[in-house]
Amino acid sequence: MRRSKQSFLQCNAASSMVIVLALWKWTTEVGAIWIELPPHGAKCLSEEIQPNVVVFGNYTLFSNDNRIPATMSVKVTSPFGNILHNKDRVSEGQFALTTKEPGNYLACFWMDSKEKGMGGNVNLDWKIGIATRDWDSIARMERIEGVELELRKLETTVSVIRENLVHLVNREREIRDISERTNARVAYLSITSLFICIGVSALQMYHLESFFRKKKLL
C-alpha cells in the first residue's frame, strides 16, 4: 500500500513538472514575426498586455526591390491612444516600454517610399514580460548556473502564470457582475413595460366604455 502511494505521488510530481516545463516553454518561446507591407496603407499588430509589463520590440525593413532604398514609418500606441513610439523614414529600429494601461497595444507600420508599387517585409521581434529578461546577465551577476538558473526561470514563469490566472479570474468576475447588472436592468424594464401596457389597456377600455355609454350603446 505504501509503495503504491509513493508511486502515485511520484507520478503526480512528474506530471506537475511536465506541465510546468510546458508552460515555461510556451511563455518563453519567442519568434520573429514577418509582416508584409503593401505599397499603400498600414499593417498593424495588436497584443493585449497587462499593466507594469516590460515590452521590447526590434524591427527591420526588407524592401522588395533591393536596388531602391526603402523606408517606413512606425507608430506604437497604448489602449487609450497615447503615442509610445513614433518614427518616420527608418529602415530599422527598436522600442522599449513599460505598460501603464491594461488593454490592446497597437504597433503599426507603413511604407514611406514614393516609388509606385514597391512594398516590403518587416521582421518584428516582439518580446513581452519575462521574455525580455537577459538571463545570461542575471546569471553572471548572481553567479548562478545550471539547474539553479533553470529553477529561477521556472519560478519566474510560474509567478507570471499565476498573475495571468488571477487577472483572468478578476476579468471573469467583472464580466459576470456586468452581466448580472444588465440582466437586472432588462428585467426591470420588462416589468415596467408590462405595467405600462396594462395601464394603457385599462385606459383604452375606460375610454371605450365611456364612449359607448354616451352613445347609449351600452
Q: Answer yes or no: do 33 and 111 share one domain.
A: yes
Q: Answer yes or no: do 35 and 116 share one domain.
A: yes
Q: Answer yes or no: do 148 and 164 share one domain.
A: yes
Over range 3-28, report the average pLDDT: 45
Provide the 10 A C-beta neighbour count for residue 199. 10
pLDDT digits (tens, 9 = 90+) for 36-90: 988 888 899 888 888 888 898 999 998 887 777 788 999 999 999 999 999 999 9
Decide: 132 and 56 in contact? Cβ < 8 Å.
yes
Residue 123 placed within a domain: yes
Q: Answer yes or no: do 114 and 198 share one domain.
A: no
Q: Answer yes or no: do 126 and 138 share one domain.
A: no
Give the pLDDT of residue 140. Answer: 75
Residue 112 placed within a domain: yes
Give the pLDDT of residue 78. Answer: 93
More confident residue, 128 or 116: 128
Confidence of residue 179 (pLDDT cuts 50, 70, 90): very high
Give the pLDDT of residue 7. Answer: 47
Residue 5 placed within a domain: no
Residue 20 placed within a domain: no
Give the pLDDT of residue 116. Answer: 58
Q: Answer yes or no: do 149 and 180 share one domain.
A: yes
Is residue 150's pLDDT more than 50?
Answer: yes
Report the 3 state secondary structure along the chain. Answer: CHHHHHHHHHHHHHHHHHHHHHHHHHHHCCCCEEEEECCCCEEEEEEEECCCCEEEEEEEEEECCCCCCCCEEEEEECCCCCEEEEEEEECEEEEEEECCCCEEEEEEEEECCCCCCCCEEEEEEEEEHHHHCCHHHHHHHHCCCCHHHHHHHHHHHHHHHHHHHHHHHHHHHHHHHHHHHHHHHHHHHHHHHHHHHHHHHHHHHHHHHHHHHHCCCC
Cα dihedral: 149, 153, 154, 157 (round 10) = 170
The strand pairing partners of 76, in sequence order, are 85, 107
Give the pLDDT of residue 218. Answer: 62
Give the pLDDT of residue 12. Answer: 46
**Domain final residue, candidates 91, 111, 132:** 132
pLDDT digits (tens, 9 = 90+) for 182-200: 999 999 999 999 999 999 9
What domain range includes position 212? 133-218
Q: Answer yes or no: do 94 and 150 share one domain.
A: no
Is residue 14's pLDDT more than 90?
Answer: no
More confident residue, 198 or 114: 198
**Domain final residue, candidates 109, 132, 155:** 132
CATH number, position 116: 2.60.120.680
Is residue 214's pLDDT more than 90?
Answer: no
Domains identified in the chain, total number:
2
Residue 70 placed within a domain: yes
Mean pLDDT of the chain: 80
Q: Answer yes or no: do 159 and 62 share one domain.
A: no
**Domain final residue, candidates 132, 162, 189:** 132
Does the global pTM surpass 0.95?
no
